[in-house]
Amino acid sequence: MIKVGIVGGTGYTGVELLRLLAVHPDVQLTAITSRKEDGLPVADMFPSLRGVVDLAFSSPDKADLTQCDVVFFATPHGVAMAQAPALLAAGVKVIDLAADFRLKDRATFEKWYKIEHTAPELLEEAVYGLPELNREDIKKARLIANPGCYPTTMQLGFYPLLKAGVIDAGSLIADAKSGVSGAGRKAEIGTLFSESSDNFKAYGVHGHRHTPETSAQLQRYTDQQVGLIFTPHLVPMIRGMHATLYARLTKDIDNAALQALFEEEYKDSEFVDVMPFGSHPETRSTRGSNMLRLALHRPEGANTVVILVVQDNLVKGASGQAVQCMNLMFGLEESKGLKQIALLP
């Protein structure tokens, strides 16, 4: 059994990890930390886990995380970088769901996240945890930087086209929407029910921290200079993410060949569903599951290809993807513990 610790188990990604790992056949939940909720049974905070998770939260100073095989950090940015060096030295593998290790360039990280990076020696070693694109590296990793939710949709949507060299990498556009849970469990006016319900708005238009993350990863797959315009939006739903991606074709390629690029690329990826050309994937088709669905369009047969991508931002966009990485790191079937079917209605 894999002994698992979770640092920061009181947020949405934390409880999502608990939901998935509690029924994983090869996992033993060993420690769940929360300084504020020390001693509180997990099921008292999250009634959905009653009878499934019997642990109580423990403060970080009481939890001996070095006894774990792997520790997930479902924490604000900056926490994992402070604790990862000691855990790695003790032989514990680390999966960080925040952004501490997503950007290889320290200066870029500090510019966008406004905090000093205290473990720069680990930046080069950290493996970006997008299994569909980095599967073999993840298998050998001891430190995983779990991707952001928006970047997951953008990378899996643009990747086959960049790899084939059929689009202009300098003029990529991503128009994306996320449910309110993507903002976390903290109390903020903008995510109160009366503020976010019956409302729709863009944010971060001047620049969003997921832009440098996505651009840096996409740059790995093309010799062209990547240019990405990314506009996120908040929609009045709890879970779900929809990205509409636009790319300009630079080569003569028909619709069947475009579709074949995606089907071939993801034929062995259980959690990427390439739908028939012209389909319209819905966020509810992925709710509660680790599935990402996408579909291609080519309006009026012109030179712009539109990729529609949907996922659950808390599962494939965060905790489910982290469990995928754990499975690969420990030599398990990638989909183990992750075959939940989406919830409908």
Predicted pLDDT at 186: 77
From 193-197, 232-236, 323-327, the region with the lowest mean pLDDT: 193-197
Interhelix angle 106-113/210-219, rounded to 10 degrees, is 150
Predicted pLDDT at 255: 97
What mean pLDDT, rounded, does the chain reach?
96
Cα 122 to chain centroid distance, Å, stands at: 20
Predicted confidence band of residue 195 (pLDDT cuts 50, 70, 90):
confident
Residues β-bridged to residue 60 = none
Tokens matching residue 254: 């028909």
Mean pLDDT of 151-171: 98
Which fold is adopted by the domain 149-313?
Answer: Dihydrodipicolinate Reductase; domain 2 (3.30.360)
Domain with CATH 3.40.50.720 in the chain: 2-125
| Residue 268 parent element (H or E) | none
As a whole-number percent, the residues of the chain with pLDDT over 70 amount to 100
Q: Are 39 and 58 in contact (CB under 8 A)?
A: yes
DSSP-derived pairing of the beta strands 127-128 and 70-73: unpaired
Q: Which of 149, 164, 169, 261 is catalytic?
A: 149
Tokens matching residue 86: 């000691």
Predicted confidence band of residue 185 (pLDDT cuts 50, 70, 90):
confident
| Residue 70 parent element (H or E) | strand 70-73
User: Whose CA is closest to 144, among 73, 217, 60?
Assistant: 73
Predicted pLDDT at 47: 95
Predicted confidence band of residue 191 (pLDDT cuts 50, 70, 90):
confident
Report in angstroms the alpha-carbon separations of 155 from 46, 124, 196, 223, 294. 33, 20, 28, 16, 12
Predicted confidence band of residue 311 (pLDDT cuts 50, 70, 90):
very high
Predicted confidence band of residue 100 (pLDDT cuts 50, 70, 90):
very high
Domain with CATH 3.30.360.10 in the chain: 149-313
The pLDDT tens digits of the residues spanning 42-97 come to 999 999 999 999 999 999 888 899 999 999 999 999 999 999 999 999 999 999 99
First to last CA, the chain: 35
User: Whose CA is closest to 11, among 57, 67, 51, 55?
Assistant: 57
User: Catalytic annotation on 325?
Assistant: no
Predicted pLDDT at 332: 98
Report in angstroms the alpha-carbon separations of 80 from 6, 22, 71, 268. 11, 22, 10, 32
Q: How far apart are CA 320 and CA 17, in angstroms?
A: 7
Task: Please compute Rg for the chain using Cα positions.
Answer: 20
Q: What architecture does CATH give domain 2-125?
A: 3-Layer(aba) Sandwich (3.40)
Residues β-bridged to residue 231 = 175
Mean pLDDT of 16-35: 96
pTM for the whole thing? 0.96
Mean pLDDT of 185-214: 89
Predicted pLDDT at 331: 98
